[in-house]
Amino acid sequence: MNPDSTLTHLPPLGGHTHDEVGRVLQATLVELLDLSLVGKQLHWSVVGTQFRPMHLQLDELVDAWRELADTVAERAVAIGYWPDGQADAIVAGRDVVPVASGPVADHDVVRQLARRMADADERIRVRMDRLADLDVVSQDVLIGVVRALEKQLWMVRAQLPHGTR
């Protein structure tokens, strides 16, 4: 089979649109993979009276973020854009400071996690809006990501003292 003939089976996105949508999906993939790595680091580092529930919740969040990342990456492949989820790509695409290694008090884990999730959600929302005029199917994927992140964020923020965000 001629490799060029497979291009006819891709969604009909123009070259510029294809590249822009691919970059948006790649940035979101990096965001979710980075969030999952941070979540795992906090999972290993949490200490305090809420260790067990926080430890378990972090496992659930990390699994969910990895699943969302897989969905985003598969959408990229579906439009003919090859995503990169390797460590180098995550480091190059990261715009947040990594968490420090060592023990982290459970209440600090909640604060750090809520802040990082809110920041990621905000950036992904911007990308989601950008896709509205480019590819509504890819936008729908990011709508699902934002929906999941905002539900998770609500559950994390509920653990903060009343009146804090």
Domain ranges of the chain: 14-157
User: Residue 129 has what pLDDT?
Assistant: 98
pTM of the model: 0.90
Q: What is the pLDDT of residue 33?
A: 97
pLDDT digits (tens, 9 = 90+) for 118-162: 999 999 999 999 999 999 999 999 999 999 999 999 999 999 987
pLDDT of 63 over the 60 cut: yes
How does the average pLDDT of the chain come out, rounded? Answer: 91
Judge whether residue 1 has pLDDT over 60: no
Over the chain, what HEC string results? CCHHHHHHHCCCCCHHHHHHHHHHHHHHHHHHHHHHHHHHHHHHHEECCCHHHHHHHHHHHHHHHHHHHHHHHHHHHHCCCCCCCCHHHHHHHCCCCCCCCCCEEHHHHHHHHHHHHHHHHHHHHHHHHHHCCCCHHHHHHHHHHHHHHHHHHHHHHCCCCCCCC
- pLDDT of 164 reads 67
Q: Does pLDDT of 49 surpass 90? A: yes
Class (C level, CATH) for 14-157: mainly alpha
pLDDT band at residue 6, thresholds of 50, 70 and 90?
A: low
What is the reported pLDDT for 46? Answer: 97
